Amino acid sequence: MADAIQPLGRNTFGNPANTGKVLSEEEALNLLNSWVENERLRLHMKQVAAVMKAWALERENLSEEEAYKWWLAGLLHDADWEKHPTEHCRIIIEELERRNVDPSVIHCIASHGPRHFGVEPENSMDKMIYVFDELSGFIHAAALIRPSRYEGMDVKSILKKLKTPSFAAQVSREDIQDALSRISNSLEEIIDFIISHQKDVA
């Protein structure tokens, strides 16, 4: 993320009266496709969305309705990054507030980079988007240089690349460590989960 990003300057987002209100899948994908032209960035957002939803269902034992909120936050967390990098994620937050989206979804997006946005992750959804964001992109970068992509990829190879500062240098190891310090799951477990749940996202 660009160092020029300005902190959001607030910790409360949306209107509590809109709790439970979300964009439809069609609305969310239309917003993604109209705001984001870069196909690689779009894929990253879809991969984070898929991993978020899978974690909500499999590890948090949430309903499909609740897991959808995790998916929506993952799908739109970087929606303004391409066109408004210095105002990331202020623009998408304001757009979702205008559309009366559930405050928990908006807060989740606002907390996916506390060092940049000044918003601390408060609950499981917030913490997991912070955990998954950098690692998802890192693992995909590792897949792209392998002839077989995700096929046969193992945790050990990702751990080795994380210790190589020159590989995917733009991925913040500091953010990864900070995110992991907020949950009880190991780095190895998270890497394995991401590999298995984002490999088929297109």
Domain that holds residue 163: 23-198
Look up the CATH number of the domain holding residue 164: 1.10.3210
Determine, yes or no, domain membership for 1. Answer: no
Alpha-carbon distance 176 to 187, whole Å?
Answer: 9
Query: Under DSSP, is residue 139 helix (H, G, I), strand (E, B) or coil?
Result: helix
Residue among 99, 98, 100, 102 nearest 73 (CA): 102
Query: Under DSSP, is residue 111 helix (H, G, I), strand (E, B) or coil?
Result: coil
Question: What total number of domains does the chain contain?
Answer: 1
Determine, yes or no, domain membership for 39. Answer: yes
Determine, yes or no, domain membership for 86. Answer: yes
> Which pLDDT belongs to residue 3?
53
> Which pLDDT belongs to residue 2?
47
The pLDDT > 70 percentage for the chain reads: 99
> Which pLDDT belongs to residue 16?
97
Determine, yes or no, domain membership for 193. Answer: yes
Measured CA to CA in angstroms, residue 165 lies from 39, 160, 169 at distances of: 26, 10, 6
Measured CA to CA in angstroms, residue 181 lies from 112, 123, 135, 186 at distances of: 14, 14, 14, 9
Report whether 5 contacts 88 (CB < 8 A).
yes
> Which pLDDT belongs to residue 5?
82
Determine, yes or no, domain membership for 6. Answer: no
Determine, yes or no, domain membership for 9. Answer: no
Query: Tokens 């779009």, residue?
Result: 42
Low-confidence ranges of the chain (pLDDT < 50): 1-2
> Which pLDDT belongs to residue 79?
97
Alpha-carbon distance 190 to 135, whole Å?
Answer: 9
> Which pLDDT belongs to residue 6?
85
Reported as a single tens digit per residue, the pLDDT across 25-81 is 999 999 999 999 999 999 999 999 999 999 999 999 999 999 999 999 999 999 999
pTM: 0.95
Bond from prior residue into 108 cis (ω within 30 degrees of 0): no
DSSP state of 85: G
